[in-house]
Chains A and B, each alone.
Chain A
Amino acid sequence: MIKNFKKQNVWFVFTPYLWLVLFFFVPLALIFKISISVSEWGMPPYRDLFSLSENGLEINSTLGNYLFIFSDPFYIRSYLNSLSLAFTSTVLCLLIGYPIAFYVAKSKPSIRNILLIMLIIPFWSSFLLRVYAWKVLLQGSGIINSVLIHIGLITEPISMLHNHYAVILGVVYTYLPFMILPLYGYLVKFDLNLIDASNDLGAKPLNTFVKVILPLSLPGIVAGSMLVFIPVVGEYIIPEMLGGSDKLYFGKIIWDEFFVNRDWPIASALAMSGIVILVFPIIIFQLMYAKYNFRNE
């Protein structure tokens, strides 16, 4: 720690501090305020929390927006759909990504560097365009349907777009590099002699994997899962482009509530509940995991 950091250097701390208070904290506080306000016609489309009238100071605050959300299964289902989408795709990314990361990390250094570059290229390329690529592939006249018809598995093109399987596929595809890269980061540091040692001592391959390799790559698994789970929970683009009306997700509900229905208080209440239901568990998990790591060190 630098002890006598000069007084005139306080701007070093306070520039980013103020920025984040102003553009991150105040906006969040504002949506909390709007979420407990009463909707009304006009601009802005909600009534002020405090107003002066002939009866004195009036407080126009309500929990009605929250009650409305939690009494409607439509909204509750969208939270559950988002959670289950995030969970399913994280597990699938892990199952697909782990063997890839493992074998890339175990390759000879010369091949490994080329494979690593090949992992980074999709990671860097535009997210939106990679989702769009699946929209092209899954079309009725798309390449997958053409191939299936050509080999005689189907006679008519089947509609593969606009359902929640297409959404899962799109999510797994776009987020796979986010899982593989941190896994690779931990597996590449892994001492391969440990596998030989475990084999020499008579452990079966499965035992070696469960008792030696898996625990040592746990930090990579956690990091990769977080990088997939967190953004997928609020994902809007993929359900909008590949999904249909069979399952609605949290991100799209907020978007529509704001842009289509123009109901600011409900959109804000959805966002606040989203923070509590979807984001807090992640923060709590991270704190617990940090504590667990700290104790084990």
Chain B
Amino acid sequence: MNKLFFKIFTLTIGFSFLYFPILTLIAYSFNDNKRVMVWKGFSFRWYKELFHNEQILEAFYTSLKIASLSATFATVMGVMIGFSLTRISKIPARPFFIFLSSSPLVMPEIILGLSLLLFFISSNHIIGFPSSKGQLTVLISHITFSVAFVAVIIQSRLSSYDKNIEEAAQDLGTIPNMIFWKVTAPVILPAILSGWLLAFTLSLDDLVVASFTTGPGANTLPIVVFSKVRLGLSPEVNALSAIIMLIVILAAISIYLINRSNIKK
């Protein structure tokens, strides 16, 4: 009995700690007062203002565009890296390739952002590309740090499954190109999907690297939100948090339901 009590106690405290701040934020998003923490009455006022805020809407659109493009490019290259490192023996300077594909994982984002910004400025001086900082430079930077995360996921999936399937296909005369598309790709599809999703969220959530590499007309959502809450509070950001939480909760519940119906089958 004592044990059960301790278990319920721990889980209650733990989950309250995780959810209390988020739920408070959602509750206060309905507060009809410019001063965020002083309750005046229930209203949808800040939701209305949020949906009329051009700056936030545009930033949201920019973020979605960069995140989906970045996730797609990073997934393609992450698969290439994962496949190369586990399946192709002759890679020039292999240890260097491993170093390149894994060290973005441990590199502090502030150093990554600084180095990319200085690189873009220098290459603009020397060859005139990129002509200015903007969505393209943010996209390139996001692809660069996301690739490593996707590559790790793909690599662990590829090294844990039975290579004999590929060898069997080879023995049966399938050409190597076909082996990848017909044998390997279907097996690692779940890893590809979770890699894409991770790269997408990494890009959507990134503030530091984007702040370094952005330029006029390329403000992502975190940049705009940060500029609003850096020095104070913003009731519109409360409303935005509530909407984002709602999207995440709905996504999580649908994944839970899909999983459960798959298990039942």
A binds B: yes
Residues of chain A having any CB pair with chain B under 8 Å: 1-2, 4-6, 9, 12-13, 15-17, 19-21, 23-28, 30-31, 34, 44, 96, 99-100, 103-104, 106, 113-115, 117-122, 124-130, 132-137, 139, 141-143, 146, 173, 176-177, 230-231, 233-234, 236-237, 240-241, 250-251, 254-255, 258, 264, 267-268, 271, 274-275, 278-279, 282-283, 286
Mind listing 22 A-B residue pairs with CB under 8 Å? A1-B87, A2-B88, A5-B176, A12-B88, A15-B77, A27-B119, A113-B259, A117-B255, A120-B252, A125-B22, A128-B205, A128-B226, A129-B241, A132-B241, A133-B21, A139-B37, A173-B18, A230-B106, A234-B110, A250-B108, A271-B111, A282-B106
Contact between chains at A27 and B115 (CB < 8 Å): yes
Complex: A130 Cα to B97 Cα, angstroms: 36
Complex: A121 Cα to B254 Cα, angstroms: 12
Answer yes or no: B168 CB below 8 A from chain A CBs. no
Contact between chains at B14 and A117 (CB < 8 Å): no
Contact between chains at A100 and B14 (CB < 8 Å): yes
Given the interface pairs A121-B248, A133-B25, the reply to whether A23 lies near B97 with Cβ below 8 Å is: no
Enumerate chain A residues within 8 angstroms of B144, measured Cβ to Cβ: 19-20, 23-24
Contact between chains at B106 and A279 (CB < 8 Å): yes
Chain B: interface residue total (CB-CB under 8 A): 85
Name 5 extra pairs, CB < 8 A, besides A124-B248, A271-B115: A15-B77, A19-B144, A24-B103, A119-B18, A254-B111
Complex: A230 Cα to B108 Cα, angstroms: 7
Question: Taking CB as reference atom, which chain B residue is nearest A141?
Answer: B37
Most B CB contacts (10 A, CB to CB) among A20, A99, A125, A271 go to: A20
Q: Which of B125, B201, B205, B229 contacts A44 (CB 8 A)?
A: B125
Q: Which of B46-54, B78-86, B185-193 contacts A (4 or more CB under 8 A)?
A: B78-86
Contact between chains at A96 and B14 (CB < 8 Å): yes
Complex: A157 Cα to B104 Cα, angstroms: 43
Q: Mask for B127-160, Cβ within 8 A of A = 1, else 0? A: 0000000000000110110010001000000000
Enumerate chain B residues within 8 angstroms of A267, measured Cβ to Cβ: 114
Complex: A133 Cα to B116 Cα, angstroms: 31
Enumerate chain A residues within 8 angstroms of B143, measured Cβ to Cβ: 19, 23
Residues of chain B having any CB pair with chain A under 8 Å: 7, 10-11, 14-15, 17-19, 21-22, 24-25, 28, 35-38, 77-78, 80-81, 83-84, 87-89, 91, 97, 100-101, 103-111, 114-116, 118-119, 121-122, 125, 140-141, 143-144, 147, 151, 166, 170, 175-177, 179, 201, 204-205, 207-208, 222, 225-226, 229-230, 233, 237-238, 240-241, 244-245, 248-249, 251-253, 255-256, 259-260
